[in-house]
Amino acid sequence: MVVGGFCLDCIVTTDTLPAWGDDLRVDAVRTRPGGKGLNQAVALARRGVPVRAVGVVGGDTTGRELLAVLRAEGVDTATMAVRAAAATPVCVVLAHPDGRTAFLCRWAEAVELTTADLTTARDAIHSARAVIVTFDPPPATVRAAVDHALAAGVALVVHPAPPERSAAAALVDLPWDRVSAATPNEQEARLLLAAAGDPAATGPGAELAAAFGRRFATPLVCVTRAEHGVAVWDGARGWARPAHPTSVVDTTAASDAFTAALTHVLFAAGAAEPRVPSSGPLPAGLVETAVEAGLAAAAWTVRHRGAFDALPHLGEPAGRAPSEPASPAAAVAFRREEQPDKHV
């Protein structure tokens, strides 16, 4: 199960950011399905994992198209809320040809995920193998989602993105020691450490995972570091893995692809029941395999344009390029592997 944001991405490809008063001509403008919740749910579905989405869309054409996209990808949308009178959020993605990105997003209050929405989805949370929670929803909703997952005793992965100082301050006191895994990027890890008053917030990027793990007692921390790969704290030691060699076209969904692949390997594949912190540490070999799967998925994603379109199918990091649907609501072919009984 993935709890997060669902929106329409308006992707503007440009090598120049405008100043006030500018009138610029850009290289391209496209609209695609987006949001961290949508990207991670689709990334899991493309790995053959049964997955439910928990989020909100408006009752407009865009909202209907996003739901159609999710269903076409094999994502269960029964726990998605539709606000009939509201417009679905739009996120403007400014994409440089070299892969750098910047985002302009706003979630109107009418389409924010609420604690009441989570109450409706509580039974589904209890039947999941694992729950991914992003920081897209309001802090109170994030906290409620974490509480529901912990009460259910399922594996819980917290992806504390997007990196907002106010969210970090409001959620720094989450029960991080009961979270199965945390997957911040470097900026997000620094914000949370700073909110905790930890001097490591300004320290070397390679040491952030260990600092985060020690500060919050989180058993597994993976700090994604773009071209520098990932820094890992596995509950006993800090270590790192380099990024897979690749050409960078678009970094928009790299962390989403990493988190989905890591979660799949750790908690949705193999073992009869996923491990939670009370079960003891995850096997070192499994963690290393999961981290490599995450790096492979991220490398595949960044060398293809478009977040949603670039998310790999299982086995694709060495395979074909993803095809781009003719419209946001078009079905996207995806490979199904043998599926466990429970959803993520």
pLDDT reported for residue 56? 98
pLDDT reported for residue 281? 76
- The answer to whether 225 touches 280, Cβ cutoff 8 Å, is no
Mean pLDDT calculated for residue range 302-321: 74
Q: Report in angstroms the alpha-carbon separations of 163 from 33, 88, 190, 276.
A: 20, 21, 9, 26
Q: Examine the pLDDT at 183 and tell me if it is beyond 70.
A: yes
Q: With a threshold of 0.85, does the pTM exceed it?
A: yes
Looking at this protein, which amino acid is placed at residue 178?
R
Q: Examine the pLDDT at 69 and tell me if it is beyond 50.
A: yes
**Domains in the chain, start-ordered, CATH in brackets?**
2-16+28-312 (3.40.1190.20)
Q: Examine the pLDDT at 106 and tell me if it is beyond 70.
A: yes
Q: List, as one string, the DSSP characters of 54-99.
A: E-EEESSHHHHHHHHHHHHTTEE-TT-EEETTSPPPEEEEEE-TTS
Which helix (H) or strand (E) segment holds residue 2: the answer is: strand 2-3
- The answer to whether 50 touches 78, Cβ cutoff 8 Å, is no
pLDDT reported for residue 325? 38
CA distance 48 to 45: 5
Which helix (H) or strand (E) segment holds residue 155: the answer is: strand 155-159
**The two structure tokens encoding residue 237:** 């030691």
271 vs 130, more confident: 130
Largest Cα separation within the chain, whole Å, is 59
